[in-house]
């Protein structure tokens, strides 16, 4: 699966994570929306050369599993 063919998966993962974390805020200065964290993790993976949509979706969803 390429990133292009995996876009629907990535959008579903992002939508699910955003809904799950909709009321969450990061602790500390600024208390930014929690969804920023999984997006940052996925972005770091892309910057490191990861292009597998399933791995990127897992990055977006990783805290939804940890928090349940």
Radius of gyration of the chain from its Cα atoms, rounded to whole angstroms = 12
Instruction: Say if residue 66's pLDDT is above 90.
Output: no
Catalytic status, residue 23: no
Query: How large a percentage of the chain has pLDDT more than 70?
Result: 94
pTM of the model: 0.86
Catalytic status, residue 63: no
* Average pLDDT of the chain, as a whole number: 92
For residues 10 and 4, give the distance between their C-alpha atoms in angstroms, rounded to a whole number: 10
pLDDT tens digits, residue range 38-62? 999 999 999 999 999 999 999 999 9
Query: How large a percentage of the chain has pLDDT more than 90?
Result: 74
Catalytic residue among 19, 52, 54, 67: 67
| Tokens coding 46 | 């892309």
Q: What are the sequence ranges of the domains in the chain?
A: 7-22+32-66
């Amino acid at each position: 699966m390429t990133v292009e063919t995996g876009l629907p998966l990535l959008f579903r993962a992002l939508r699910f994570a955003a809904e799950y974390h909709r009321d969450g805020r990061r602790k500390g200065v600024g208390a930014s929306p929690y969804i920023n964290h999984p997006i940052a993790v996925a972005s770091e993976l892309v910057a490191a050369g990861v292009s597998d949509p399933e791995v990127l979706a897992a990055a977006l969803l990783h805290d939804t599993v940890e928090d349940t």
